[in-house]
A and B are shown apart, each in its own frame.
Chain A
Amino acid sequence: MTGTVTEGAVLPRVEFDAQICKGCGVCIEACPEDIIEYAGTFNHRGVRPTQLVPDGLVRCSACGNCAVVCPDSAVTVDNLRKHLHYGKNALRIGDMHYCPGCDEGTVHELLAEVIDELGIKEVAVGVASVGCTVFAYRYIDIDWQQAAHGRATSVAWGIECQHPELRVFTVQGDGDLAGIGIGETFHAAARGDPTVIIFLNNAIYGMTGGQLAPTSLMGQVTSTSLAGRNVKDHGYPIVMTEALALQEGCSFAVRTSVHDAPSIRKTKKYIRQAFLNQAKNKSLSVVEVVSACPSGWRLDPVDAHKYLVEHLFPVYKPGVIKEPPGGMPR
């Protein structure tokens, strides 16, 4: 579908890539005009991709929400009147291996946009961890290192101490950062490493199939806590970002999410601020993204986002946890 000029009204250009679409349905949920539906046919992935309803374009407000929320960057929206573009960033490469509706994909798109917009792609180096983000390097077109489970911040320091001009960030799950790697994480904060940590907290071990994580909620059913997490057998969930923020060497700490278009826009701002803080304060910046793992949680992607708001937010409260000295970076 392309934009056309009809009697003074410029229609937007909205494109759904039926090959990339994983049929998660979060774009349907995000559309304020209710003009997105599943197609009647299946794509090569065996899912029904989404599309605009017949004549949907005339009701489209070109808000870009569907493009913003799509974890796989399958949607492009051009607001031709305001010259706004929503869709895949040039640095965001490749088809992602994530499950339908996984928030980890959305975060990659944001990272690609921020790195591109800040003009730091020639100095940005990512550190992928062990977890579902193990292949993060496939999706952002910069230099990467893939670190052992839990050791991403140590690898990051190895790079930074040798090349202070590089802008190093890690992408880590909660098992990685708060479980096996909790020592490394705290010491990165204690040293005040100039790393940007993107902490994807989905309260579960996603990659290994949905086992109890240090961050799993009380009562949460996982494949290794079949009756739900209880104190006697599993202890309490670890709340990491507040604890990191207590360390002198951590100058910026926020908790956010990407479960809807407004929160995605806010998260992008935070990631941008983290990179600005990295340049300014040369100490640790932590962006915790409370993320949905529909597969691990055994929930449909849209329901997973509802679960996230209802159950994870009370324990992992979104908001700025530590402002850098001199206020939020701009």
Chain B
Amino acid sequence: MTAGAGVLEATQGTATEPAAEGEVLLKGCEAIAEAAIRSGIDAYFAYPITPQTDIPEYLAERLPGLGKTYTQANSEISAINMVYGAAGAGRRCMTSSSSPGISLKQEGISYIAGAELPCFIVNVMRGGPGLGTVYGSQEDYWQSVKGGGHGGYRMPVMAPATVQECADLTMLCIRLADLYRTPTLLCLDGTLGQMWENLRFGKFDESGLPPKDWATTGRKGGRKPNLISSIIIEPPDLEAHNRELHAKYARISQREQRWEEYQADDADVVIVAFGLAGRIARTGVDLMRAAGRKVGLMRPISLFPFPVDGFRPLVNRPRKWLVVEMNAGQMVEDVKTTLFDLGRLDPVKFYGRQGGVIPTPEEIADVVEREFPKGGAR
């Protein structure tokens, strides 16, 4: 693999675990930025905010040399509307921010969803509400998967747990954006964004992506005018448009679910956790298995669509469920709904740490013991 300029070469193989052939050592944020370049983004629009600033810094260094656009906007609002313009003009584009900045982008994301423009958004979450803390958290689950902005739209949301996944899911999000003409969101906590790990870049899959013949590139050759807009004033027309949007979301739900299941098959207790919490819970599962408890993990990778199919094989018998999040309990609602929809009334407990506090594997093992004591009534 050819390494990119500067940052990449300098860091190759300097890890305590030396990089294997074809591997590079990068921070989560840098892996996202590099993967975006390798996915052929044409433009990136930024506004600084911790803990995602490594993304704009990386791209500011790399994009201009590649003949691509890097613009630092006057605000996150401006940045997302530049994305609207550039995406509407048919280009592959991206913006990134952290929680307060993502809040500012919500109107723009809603317009982008309404106008069906492809674009890639990254939220490196910090603790909230308000200015909160720069330390990593998962407090934006609801905002990410339940619309965030107004108008009841959905968009694919992917949650990585490793730096490798940061890169892989960036490429996936950029592909899904073009495939479905939708904004896509990569959602990770600030800690993963700052974490160094070896990774291997895959290849961006360009196959089957539709042409952007709807873009405002000028009426060259006298073609019919193109319009990028989200205003549809007549209620029946807007209803028809929204039905099409939701039919698209249904297709996405059917085809794009992703999850990791770890030792859940024979588990009496299944932990459900995403992102960094999922990664920590996995270590917790190992601890508990070593201590002789049959515990497993279900880690949603796609938060929208919620990986209902991943739960299907697990509802074959009664189990106990523990949802672990770095928030006060958000995804737990989707877990409960999913189990209910799949016909189960299993007990579902929740454990969360907030405000940038990260749970430990031991802590999670203790919670399992407390909530579902070994040998306790089923």
Contact = CB atoms under 8 A, between A and B. Distances in A.
A125 interface: yes
Given A125-B218, A143-B216, A158 B229 contact: no
A196 to B, nearest CB: 15
Interface in B203-261: 216-222, 225-231
B229 A146 contact: yes
Contacts of B87: 158
Closest 6 A/B residue pairs (Cβ): A158-B85, A155-B85, A146-B229, A158-B86, A151-B81, A154-B81
Interface string A127-156: 110000011010001111111100100111
A158 to B, nearest CB: 2
B81 A148 contact: yes
A161 B107 CA distance: 22
B317 to A, nearest CB: 50
A148 B219 contact: no
8 contacts: A135-B231, A148-B81, A154-B84, A156-B85, A157-B82, A158-B83, A162-B86, A184-B81
Among B43, B75, B226, B228, the most chain A Cβ lie within 10 Å of the Cβ of: B228
A122 B222 contact: yes
Interface of B: 42-43, 45, 69, 71, 73-75, 77-79, 81-91, 93, 107-108, 111, 115, 216-222, 225-231
Contact of B84 (A144, A158, A160): A158
A151 B230 CA distance: 14
Contacts, number: 128
A1 to B, nearest CB: 34
Contact of A183 (B69, B78, B84, B115): B78
Contact of A122 (B84, B93, B219, B229): B219
A165 B221 CA distance: 15
B74 A162 contact: no
B73 A163 contact: no
Given A154-B85, A166-B217, A161 B225 contact: no
A85 interface: no
Contact of A137 (B74, B218, B227): B227
Interface size class of A (residues with CB under 8 A): 35 or more
A187 interface: yes
A121 interface: yes
A39 interface: no
A159 interface: yes
Given A155-B88, A158-B43, A144 B82 contact: no
Contact of B73 (A124, A141, A142, A154): A154
Contact of A162 (B43, B78, B107): B43
Interface in A152-199: 154-163, 165-166, 183-184, 186-187
B231 A144 contact: no
Contacts of B75: 183
A142 B228 CA distance: 12
A127 B85 contact: yes
Contact of B216 (A134, A145, A186, A187): A145
Contacts of A52: none
A123 interface: yes
A144 B229 contact: yes
A159 B219 contact: no
Among B88, B91, B115, the most chain A Cβ lie within 10 Å of the Cβ of: B88
Contacts of A157: 71, 82, 85
Interface in A214-240: none
A145 B218 contact: no
Contacts of A121: 219
Among A124, A154, A158, A166, the most chain B Cβ lie within 10 Å of the Cβ of: A158
B85 A159 contact: yes
A155 B81 contact: yes
A102 to B, nearest CB: 18
Nearest to B111: A148
Nearest to A128: B229
Contacts of B226: 143-144
Nearest to B228: A145
A163 B229 CA distance: 19
Contacts of A160: 85
Nearest to A124: B218
Contacts of A123: 218, 220
Given A143-B225, A143-B227, A154-B73, A163 B218 contact: yes
A123 B353 CA distance: 54
A248 to B, nearest CB: 16
Contacts of A124: 218
A147 B80 CA distance: 11
A162 B108 contact: no
B78 A146 contact: no
Contacts of A135: 231
A144 B225 contact: yes
A251 B220 CA distance: 28
Contacts of A183: 74-75, 78
A151 B74 CA distance: 11
A144 B216 contact: yes
Contacts of B222: 122
Given A145-B85, A154-B85, A158-B83, 14 more contacts: A122-B221, A124-B218, A137-B225, A137-B229, A143-B219, A144-B226, A145-B88, A154-B77, A155-B84, A158-B84, A159-B88, A163-B217, A187-B73, A187-B74
B216 A159 contact: yes
A122 B223 CA distance: 9
Contacts of A144: 216, 225-229
Given A134-B231, A183-B75, A158 B81 contact: yes
A324 B115 CA distance: 37
B225 A159 contact: no
A146 to B, nearest CB: 4
B73 A148 contact: no
Contacts of B42: 162
A148 B216 CA distance: 17
Contact of A154 (B82, B91, B227): B82
Contacts of A143: 216-219, 225-227
A148 B79 CA distance: 12
Nearest to A166: B218
B216 A125 contact: yes
